[in-house]
């Protein structure tokens, strides 16, 4: 989940990361197009929309890091100046949106589980409850990830008559940054960063993943029980009963895909963070190597996991095509009218 200082990393992974980011942002915007339509505005879809927005912002904030893999940007003075001065703030806000997305996934899973097991209980609360949940998640995750802004100290130097710019970042947790350079952070700041890093690894990543696993196991068991019940009660209903069972089976497959993608893409980053913090806090090189692949998995998950929520649904695809067709139909006459008006004005001028 957490993004550390980006050196020249990821090798082959780094070169395809910008493509994944563009794909992920585009996909989430398409999902928002459907989820935010008035006819589909439910509590679940409000949470899903918030998740899509969080993932979009995360991927956008990751884009400057991914561009650094290409020499055209890596050697460009203006890009390096912007990146070196904004790097830690980009990382901090990316951590914030990533943390918010993880807890939104947890909220979605719990809402679905409660909605299936206790449908009457869910109906007691209106649409406002979803906005309260989203607001609480945003506020809490912003506070607990604020330490990321000062977790590294980046020193920037200019060389060759200010034609070249270089930067090196040092962890706030290290006692000495180099043999000749001591850590300039106060003891209070060091403790603040150290304990917040551990707190985030446990309460922002590990616990949500465990609860999501537990909630989805219960959800799968509940769906399975409902499927068996329908098999017994719909034996005489022919095609209608089989269609209902098929729909339940598709829901089960979608849920399995969601929890599998979430666990695979988010879990390794938490493990790498804990190991780098507890075992390798004084080794920047090893810490960076440990976080390379997990960081790529996080980007991959943000680019793909939301599609598992929505694009696996035939109803979603039908609605998306309908909206796209409607908007294209409305856009085409306006374009044709502008073309005719331009042509008429040209003829009048002649």
Tens-digit pLDDT profile for residues 116-162: 777 666 667 777 888 999 999 999 999 999 998 988 888 888 888 77
Range in 8-22, 53-67, 206-220 with the lowest mean pLDDT: 8-22
**347 CB-contact burial (10 Å; exposed 0-12 / middle 13-18 / buried 19+):** exposed
In 108-226, DSSP assigns E strands to 152-159, 164-171
> Is residue 18 within 8 Å of 67, Cβ to Cβ?
yes
More confident residue, 168 or 139: 139
Residue 176's SS3 state is strand
pLDDT (average), residues 99-120: 81
For residues 98 and 104, give the distance between their C-alpha atoms in angstroms, rounded to a whole number: 10
Tens digit of pLDDT for each residue in 235-278?
555 555 556 556 555 655 666 676 777 777 877 776 666 666 55
Specify the 3-state DSSP secondary structure of 167.
strand
Q: Which domains does the chain have, with CATH numbers?
A: 11-325 (1.20.1070.10)
What predicted TM-score, i.e. pTM, was given to this entire model?
0.81
Residue 244 burial class via C-beta count within 10 angstroms: exposed 0-12, middle 13-18, buried 19 and up = middle
Look at residue 234 in the predicted model and tell me its pLDDT: 56
pLDDT in tens, 169-187: 888 888 888 878 888 888 8
Sign, Cα dihedral of 2, 31, 257, 255:
positive
- Contact between 329 and 82 under an 8 Å Cβ cutoff? The reply is no
* Biggest alpha carbon–alpha carbon distance for the chain: 85
For residue 24, the number of C-alpha atoms closer than 13 Å in the C-beta half-sphere is 29
Select the highest-mean-pLDDT range: 24-38, 81-95, 333-347.
Answer: 81-95
pLDDT tens digits along 286-319: 555 556 677 778 888 888 866 776 666 666 667 7
Q: What is the pLDDT of residue 56?
A: 92
Q: Are 22 and 56 in contact (CB under 8 A)?
A: no
């Amino acid at each position: 989940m957490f993004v550390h200082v980006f050196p020249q990393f990821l090798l082959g992974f780094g070169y395809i990361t910008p493509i994944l980011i563009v794909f992920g942002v585009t996909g989430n915007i398409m999902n928002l197009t459907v989820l935010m339509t008035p006819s589909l505005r439910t509590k679940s879809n409000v949470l899903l929309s918030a998740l899509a927005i969080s993932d979009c912002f995360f991927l956008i904030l990751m884009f400057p890091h991914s561009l650094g893999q290409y020499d055209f940007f890596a050697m460009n003075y203006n890009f390096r100046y912007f990146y070196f001065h904004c790097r830690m703030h980009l990382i901090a806000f990316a951590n914030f949106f990533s943390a918010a997305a993880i807890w939104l996934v947890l909220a979605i899973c719990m809402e679905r589980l409660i909605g299936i097991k206790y449908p009457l209980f869910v109906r007691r609360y209106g649409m406002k409850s979803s906005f309260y949940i989203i607001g609480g998640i945003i506020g809490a995750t912003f506070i607990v990830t604020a330490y990321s802004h000062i977790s590294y100290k980046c020193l920037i130097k200019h060389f060759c008559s200010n034609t070249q710019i270089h930067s090196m970042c040092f962890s706030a947790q290290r006692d000495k940054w180099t043999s000749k350079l001591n850590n300039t952070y106060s003891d209070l700041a060091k403790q603040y960063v150290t304990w917040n890093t551990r707190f985030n690894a446990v309460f922002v990543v590990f616990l949500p993943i465990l609860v999501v696993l537990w909630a989805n196991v219960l959800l799968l068991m509940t769906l399975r029980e409902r499927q068996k019940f329908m098999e017994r009660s719909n034996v005489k209903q022919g095609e209608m009963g089989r269609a209902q069972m098929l729909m339940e089976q598709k829901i089960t497959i979608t849920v399995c895909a969601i929890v599998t993608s979430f666990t695979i893409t988010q879990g390794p980053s938490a493990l790498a963070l804990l190991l780098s913090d507890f075992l390798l806090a004084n080794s920047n090189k090893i810490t960076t190597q440990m976080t390379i692949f997990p960081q790529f998995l996080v980007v991959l998950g943000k680019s793909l996991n939301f599609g598992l929520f929505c694009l696996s649904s035939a109803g979603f695809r039908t609605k998306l095509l309908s909206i796209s067709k409607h908007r294209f139909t409305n856009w085409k006459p306006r374009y044709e009218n502008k073309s005719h008006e331009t042509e008429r004005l040209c003829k009048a001028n002649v």
